Amino acid sequence: MKWTLILWSLVVLQRIWEIGVAKQNGEWIRRRGGQEIGGEHYPLIVGVHVLFFLGILVEMFLYHATSPSWWWLPFTLFIGVQALRYWSIRSLGRFWNTRIWVIPNTPIERKGPYRYMRHPNYVAVVTEFLVFPLLFGAYVTCIVMTFVNILVLVLLRIPMEEKALQEVSLSLNEEEMEYTGGLFSRWDQEPS
């Protein structure tokens, strides 16, 4: 169980570090005339993530969840999704954030994984919610929190982010929104 606590702690520290990066990026965006959209739902996003990590601990200590013999499979997926996560963060650079920040009249980024997916970071987060608890044998957290996270993303976060981007993006026409809208971009055509 010792290695699982070390891994859990490292991922929690990673998230805390990312919040610090997001705060710095948010200040950088604000100084350039950016504005935060939907800040009132941010505590819900944080709450889902806190419950996710607490759920794993509860299952480990109160219900004695243990890593399955096939732990290497979710671990491999988790490492792979970290690559997608950091490719996304690096591609957005100073524009990456855990909040929704927009700068009026700014084009939508289409670098890195954003050339293929509209929200690669959310794909990474959903996959993490699915596979990370499996490393600990935390099956209830896996099922419940993955479902809750998907609901929050699909019903609240992604629509709010899409609307904010559409309202402030530089010369974003209907064809480009069709190309970039939703979770995945259209694979069959580039925007004109």
Rounded Cα distance between 83 and 89, Å, is 10
Torsion of CA 146, 151, 154, 156, to 10 degrees: -130
Higher-scoring residue by pLDDT: 7, 189: 7
25 touches 32 (CB < 8 A): no
Counting residues of the chain whose pLDDT is more than 90, the rounded percentage is 75
pLDDT band of 1, cuts 50, 70, 90: low
- What is the pLDDT, as a whole number, of residue 186? 42
Residue 46 predicted with pLDDT over 70: yes
Rounded mean pLDDT of 84-97?
A: 95
pLDDT at 188 > cutoff 60 = no
What average pLDDT does range 119-141 have in this prediction?
96
pTM: 0.85
**Mean pLDDT score of the chain:** 88
| pLDDT value for 146 | 97
Q: State mean pLDDT over 127-137.
A: 97
